[in-house]
Amino acid sequence: MLYSEKVMDHFMNPRNVGKIEDADGVGEVGNAKCGDIMKIYIKVNDGIITDVKFNTFGCGSAIASSSMATEMIKGKPVSEALELTNKAVAEALDGLPAHKLHCSVLAEEAIKAAIEDYEKKKEAKSE
Ligand code: FES
Ligand code: FES
């Protein structure tokens, strides 16, 4: 089969879908080739990601990757979330077809962008 059960599960029942209105950080990334867009919102308290939500306008693998990635960083320190690789996300999904690996890259990039945004906002506040 092309897709693992875990990919199908996270595609059919994605976790953490939505938007955080008062997010501490928002990251949006897109893939120019396929046109898919992913947006991730994080809420941070004392350096811990207490909540995370995503909206993905894209393929099934991108949705499954963002769903899995949000689960992997929820409740984790920001520093740990920064280290999340697309490889780890793909592995947690029991693998993705080779031509779908870029979908998990999108998830890694969206999380990094959200954390960057959070850090920028934090700096602005302390100035
Ligand atoms: Fe079809 Fe991304 S290429 S949804
Ligand atoms: Fe582009 Fe999945 S095909 S993110």
Q: Give the pLDDT confidence of 28-70 residue by residue, as tens digits.
A: 999 988 999 999 999 999 999 999 999 999 999 999 999 999 9
**Residue 8 C-alpha to ligand 2 middle, in angstroms?**
15
Query: Domains in the chain, start-ordered, CATH in brackets?
Result: 5-126 (3.90.1010.10)
Pocket test for ligand 1, best of 56, 57, 59, 103 (most atoms within 8 A of CB): 59
**Cα separation of 118 and 5, whole Å?**
34
Residue 37 in contact with residue 57, Cβ under 8 Å?
yes
Residue 38, CA atoms < 13 Å, CB-side half-sphere: 32
User: CB within 6 Å of ligand 1 — which residues?
Assistant: 34, 36, 58-59
Q: Whose CA is nearest to atom 4 of ligand 2?
A: 103
Q: Is the ipTM of this complex over 0.85?
A: no
Question: Which ligand 1 atom sits closest to the C-alpha of 58?
Answer: 4
Note the residue count of the chain. 127
- What angle do helix axes 101-126 and 60-73 make, rounded to 10 degrees? 40
User: Which 3-state string (H, E, C) describes the chain?
Assistant: CCCCHHHHHHHHCCCCECCCCCCCEEEEEECCCCCCEEEEEEEEECCEEEEEEEEEECCHHHHHHHHHHHHHHCCCEHHHHHCCCHHHHHHHCCCCCHHHHHHHHHHHHHHHHHHHHHHHHHHHHHC
Mutate to test the pocket of ligand 2, among 2, 3, 34 (most ligand atoms within 8 A of CB): 34
The whole model's pTM is what? 0.93
pLDDT tens for each residue of 61-119: 999 999 999 999 999 999 999 999 999 999 999 999 999 999 999 999 999 999 999 99
Of 6, 50, 58, 62, which is closest to residue 24 (Cα–Cα)?
A: 50
Q: How confident is the model at residue 1 (pLDDT cuts 50, 70, 90)?
A: low
